[in-house]
Amino acid sequence: MAKKRLQTKAKRPQITDGEIPVVGAREPCPCGSGRRYKACHGRAAAQAVTELVHRPFEGLPGECDWVALRELVPAATAALTLKGGLPEGVPSVTLATVLPMAWPALRREDGSVLLGLQNDTASGDISRDLADTLQRALQAKPGTPVQGRRAPADGPRLQDLIDPEGAFEPVVHSGFEFWVPDPQNATPDVSASLERANAAAIPTVKLTGVDAAYWCETPEKNHLRWVMPHPEERLLDALARLHAAGRSSLGEGTRLVGSFRAHGLTVPVWDLPSGISAEDIEKPAAEFAERLAAALATEEPLTAEERRARGGLTNRQVTLS
């Protein structure tokens, strides 16, 4: 009787979690477990992709302005300061609300980088998706756009790449000419995209006397949209106190009409008469900021009238994200 041949199994190479690549959900997991990826390490990756980060810009300099540029402002740019400085061959990194052809990022011919903010993202963490796009843009060949992709679940976030002590000073533009240094020599696709974007842009001005407040002009009336950093419940209480006291407006003909929710912050919105410009609203906005600070410091329970005012404000909230 022949001897049974001894069966030996070669040891599978050990792969740490951080080294496991992303593969198709039905493919074998690269860790060597023998299970499909979706039933093994793909579970954690899927959870990281779908889990929503409530305040993706928290901890960044100018969080309120990040929210405004993401949701409210058509055309704006802001220089970004990176931790450790700029890589060799990259003279500047600039955040832009929108880029031509809806590119997530662009490495210009001179090596500078433009990072688009108002793009669809593949996961529930906008900060991680943008950080992945930024890292790839820094390494891209000059003169090429960067396409979107699903960011690694364990990849860095913007908070890991951007200097928290750096300035964040948005510059609002009347159009999108900042896309190309020389619009006359732009490609036909870029020129067409530029024309469409300029036609759709709503005139917008950033106020100088208060933080993250943006005046905009529409055919029917003007508006002030003001992104505020205060906790939502406390802010709504303060706005209700002012509203019940008849002190929530920004002057004659203006009216606090409600608010947006966006990326974990609250954005009160005022209707303004068409004749009121951004310059006209600077002083009333600064005076309102003082009234709001006093209302935020108030600890007494809301009165019946203030509770009714709060209910009205809550009913007129719209969630943008």
> In what helix (H) or strand (E) does residue 105 lie, and over which residues does it extend?
strand 105-107
pLDDT digits (tens, 9 = 90+) for 2-26: 434 344 344 444 555 555 666 666 6
Mean pLDDT of 212-230: 96
pTM here?
0.84
Structure confidence at residue 30 (pLDDT) = 82
pLDDT score, position 1: 38
**Distances in Å between the alpha carbon of 228 and those of 26, 119, 263, 269?**
45, 23, 11, 11
Q: What is the DSSP string of 277-312?
A: -HHHHHHHHHHHHHHHHHHHT--SPPPHHHHHHHHH
For residue range 190-215, list pLDDT tens digits in order. 788 888 989 989 999 999 999 999 99
Query: Edge to edge, what strands does the sheet with 255-262 contain?
Result: 204-206, 213-217, 222-226, 265-272, 255-262, 317-319
pLDDT mean over 147-158 = 92
How high does pLDDT run on average in the chain? 89
Specify the DSSP class assigned to residue 28. B
Looking at per-residue confidence, does 145 or 37 come out higher? Answer: 145
Q: Is the pLDDT of residue 175 over 70?
A: yes
Across the range 177-186, mean pLDDT stands at 80
Report the C-alpha gap between 198 and 271 in whole angstroms: 24
* Angstrom distance (rounded) from CA 292 to CA 284: 12
DSSP state of 169: -
Residues β-bridged to residue 253: none
C-alpha pair distances (Å), 259 with each of 107, 216, 250, 271, 303:
37, 15, 15, 11, 21
